[in-house]
Amino acid sequence: MSTVTGLKGIIPPVITPFRPDGEVDTASLARLLEHLIAGGVHGVFILGSSSEIGAMTPDQREQILETTVSTVNGRVPVYAGIIDMGTRAVIRHAQKAAEYDVAGLVATPPYYIHPSDDEIVAHFRAINEAVSLPVIAYNIPTNMHSKLEPKVVGRLAKEGLAVGVKDSGRSDANFRRMVMATRGVEGFSLLTGSEVTVDFTIIAGGHGAVPGLGNVDPAGYRALYDALEAGDLASAREKQERLVRLGALRSQAKRKEVGTTAGSIGGYKTALQLLGVIEHNAMAAPMTPLDDAEAAGVRAVLEQEGLL
């Protein structure tokens, strides 16, 4: 296993701007990356759930890799998702990402097949044998239908099969157990995927966050992280609560035609469109973008929290 240094801080999962015809809007993606870097992020994570990876073609994956790596140009680390259903497909994605010299790879357990714990460990072992890049494990059971249990995370850490975990399991208790299971493993990082409990998880022993809402307000999350690093808990609580309020932009989709994923990611996209960062709030098919009335709700949230 290769090691990665500095896997900590705020590493937003970058959304994918699309044109209305369904193709990747690379110009908007480049502007978004500049917005994130200007906001002080410590790295960027592409090709994850917030990128709409489940609805993306292989060509679009590579377009995003190429645009991101060339735009970032070494200013912050780029972590690339290699998410797919089976080990062989994941390894192909890993080998393609390695061609772009990313800092690390982010892999979920195999999904659809309902793997055992031993099969999950074998999956990560195979990735490590195929590529020399560091691997970050990604726990998101709502999408994968399998869970990275703390004991499995402990095995991955102790056997050198992962350098960290991004936990989107929505359980502070489970995050705490991951901290306990990996304590003493030098260089292993625990990152939360929660936008609203960054303060709790870092106090519990975490090393940073991968917040989707960080696409909209990267500077707000950087300020929160800096306050936590400085031990200023009163300031951190105030900053976290502001971000909780800003998170209301995820719930502005009111029509039954808009699904849960489209409503949440569409809230980020609509906010970024209103901020002038991306051109369109289009979603990957078959997801439905927010309409003008819903965009007005997003605007109201941005205005209330001082971003417009």
Active site (catalytic) residues: 138, 166
Hey, CA dihedral for 257, 244, 172, 150, is it positive or negative?
Answer: positive
Is residue 129 within 8 A of residue 104, CB to CB? The reply is no
Q: Which residues of 75-101 are buried (b: 16+ CB within 10 A; e: fewer)?
A: ebbbbbbbbbeebeebbebbeebbeee
Structure tokens of 82?
């290699």
Residue 185, Cβ density class (10 Å: 0-12 exposed, 13-18 middle, ≥19 buried): middle
Cα–Cα distance, 14 to 33 (Å, whole number): 8
Pairing of strands 164-167, 135-139: parallel
For the chain, counts of helices (H) and of strands (E): 12, 8
Residue labelled with tokens 């991004």: 166
Whether 125 contacts 115, CB under 8 Å: no
Residues facing residue 164 across a β-bridge? 136, 189
Tokens of 267: 């809230």
Structure tokens at 90: 């994941």
